[in-house]
């Protein structure tokens, strides 16, 4: 009991000293600076950070690599966008619709494939993602394919004006979405019986099965949740960027998310957010170098993998994460 209390205490102090002020700083900066470019960077970093964290929620706990992750995000984006453009459905409802569509596809995929492990799941989801991308590209009468589908703004709510060029309203929504998704994942992973099952399965699947945990059930639940999160964030992306092409679903998008999750560090929610801020800022700072920036990016990736394979989170804390 005494030991328990000590661990809780350290956690709270650690959070108080570093995490909360930096969180406050992160939220306050765009409101203080009031620059549309800065807001854009912050929104993208939060978006990709949250996506990476939920990607990591599947990899970190159950080793499921969803290599078609961008396609699930794209499915959410297109669902919400088509609902708004063709059927005139309110984009706020679209957030739910996008999440539900991606979650349903995730459920179906999960039930069918999660008996499999490792590279088979990764390749299967990759093929599925490519299939969705081709589907979007060959149905221009619905999705406008490579011509691009233009998507309306979110309707104004209270003092939030989404047509404002400073993008602060979008940033507010992004912060709310991101914080609620991160807290949901933290809650699911640490405070529920389901999270306990995830951790048991991560430790040793045979041992967990002996305790009466059905791995398939928890793998499918985990997969569905992460896909639904991707769909919700995708529909936010649709109404933020406001132009959708099949390129959103392509493999390089998934790679971007995967790299943030791995450089940020596996098994930590905040690691992914910090990783996203670092990588997105780095890419923006290096933008004048054009093609050279991706060479530098690639070299950094290679060096990190060779010398600090645990990523950023392992570098900062030695303890076992999650």
Partner 1 sequence: MDVTTVIELLLAGLGRGAIYALMALGLALIFGILNIPSFAQGEFYMVGTYFGWVGLSILGLGPFVALLIAAFATSLVGICCEKILFAPLRRFAGEEWLVNVFVLTLGLSLVLQNVALVTAGPLYYGAPYFWGPGTADLFGFRISYDRLMIAVLATTTIVIFWVFLKRTRLGRTIRAVAQNADAASLTGVNLGRIYTITFGVGCMLSGVAGALMVAILPAYPTMGIIPLYKGWFVVIVAGLGTIGGCISIALLLGVLEAVGLLVASEGWQSFLYIIIICILLIFKPFGVFGKREVRGIWEK
Enumerate residues 46-85 that contact partner 1 by CB under 8 A: 59, 63, 65
- Tell me if 37 contacts partner 1 by CB under 8 A: no
Residue 301 lies near partner 1 (rule: CB under 8 A):
yes
Q: Please pick, from the candidates 26, 38, 89, 130, the single residue that binds partner 1 as defined by CB under 8 A.
A: 130
Q: Determine, following the binding rule CB under 8 A, whether residue 128 of this chain makes contact with partner 1.
A: yes
| Helix H or strand E encompassing 243 | strand 243-244
Q: What torsion do the CA atoms of 255, 70, 238, 275 make, to the nearest 10 degrees?
A: -40
Query: Does 319 help bind partner 1 (rule: CB under 8 A)?
Result: no
Locus of tokens 């205490």: 9
Binding residues with partner 1: total (CB under 8 A): 43
Measured between alpha carbons, how far is 262 from 264 in angstroms, rounded to an integer? 5
From residue 219 to residue 258, what is the string marking binding to partner 1 with x (rule CB under 8 A)? --------------------------------x---x--x
197 touching partner 1, by CB under 8 A: no
77 and 133 Cβ atoms separated by less than 8 Å: no
Kindly state the helix (H) or strand (E) to which residue 191 belongs, with its residue range: none
What is the nearest approach in angstroms of partner 1 to the Cβ of residue 55?
Answer: 13
DSSP structure string for 98-116 = HHHHHHHHHHHHHHHHTTS
Using rule CB under 8 A, residue 294 touches partner 1: yes
Segment 252 to 271, residues that bind partner 1, using CB under 8 A: 255, 258-259, 262, 266
* Contact between 295 and partner 1 per CB under 8 A: yes
x/- site string to partner 1, residues 131 to 150, per CB under 8 A? x--xx-xx------------
Asked whether 189 and 61 are in contact (CB, 8 A), the reply is: yes
Q: Give the CA-trace dihedral at 29, 33, 36, 39, to 10 degrees.
A: 0
Selected binder of partner 1 within 113, 169, 235, 268 (CB under 8 A): 113
Q: What angle do CA 185, 190, 194 make, to 5 degrees?
A: 80
CA–CA separation, 247 vs 253, rounded Å?
8
Q: How far apart are CA 201 and CA 64, in angstroms?
A: 12
Contact 119, 64 (CB under 8 A): no
Stretch that binds partner 1, among 9-17, 75-83, 128-136, 214-222 (CB under 8 A): 128-136
Shortest distance, position 322 Cβ to partner 1, whole Å: 15
Query: What residues make contact with partner 1 under the rule CB under 8 A?
Result: 59, 63, 65, 112-113, 115-120, 122-124, 126-128, 130-131, 134-135, 137-138, 251, 255, 258-259, 262, 266, 291-292, 294-295, 297-302, 305-307, 309
């Amino acid at each position: 009991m005494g030991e328990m209390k000590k661990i809780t205490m350290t956690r709270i102090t650690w959070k108080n000293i570093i995490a909360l002020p930096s969180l406050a700083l992160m939220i306050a900066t765009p409101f203080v600076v009031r620059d549309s470019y800065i807001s854009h960077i912050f929104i993208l970093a939060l978006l990709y950070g949250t996506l990476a964290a939920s990607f990591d929620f599947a990899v970190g706990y159950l080793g499921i690599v969803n290599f078609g992750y961008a396609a699930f995000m794209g499915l959410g984006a297109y669902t919400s966008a088509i609902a708004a453009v063709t059927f005139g459905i309110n984009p706020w409802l679209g957030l739910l619709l996008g999440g539900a569509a991606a979650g349903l596809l995730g459920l179906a995929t999960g039930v069918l494939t999660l008996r499999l492990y490792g590279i088979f799941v990764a390749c299967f989801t990759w093929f599925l993602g490519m299939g969705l991308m081709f589907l979007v590209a060959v149905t221009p009468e619905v999705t406008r394919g490579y011509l691009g589908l233009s998507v309306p703004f979110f309707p104004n709510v209270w003092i939030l004006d989404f047509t404002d060029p400073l993008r602060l309203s979008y940033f507010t929504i992004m912060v709310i979405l991101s914080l609620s998704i991160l807290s949901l994942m933290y809650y699911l992973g640490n405070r529920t019986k389901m999270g306990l099952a995830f951790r048991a399965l991560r430790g040793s699947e045979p041992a967990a099965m002996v305790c009466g945990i059905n791995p398939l059930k928890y793998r499918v639940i985990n997969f569905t949740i992460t896909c639904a999160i991707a769909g919700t964030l995708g529909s936010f992306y649709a109404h933020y960027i406001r132009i959708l092409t099949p390129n959103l679903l392509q493999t390089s998008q998934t790679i971007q998310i995967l790299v943030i999750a791995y450089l940020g560090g596996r098994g930590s929610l905040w690691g992914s957010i910090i990783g996203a801020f670092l990588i997105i800022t780095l890419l923006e700072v290096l933008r004048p170098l054009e093609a050279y920036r991706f060479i530098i990016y690639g070299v950094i990736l290679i060096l990190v993998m060779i010398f600090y394979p645990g990523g950023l989170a392992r570098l900062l804390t030695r303890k076992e994460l999650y």
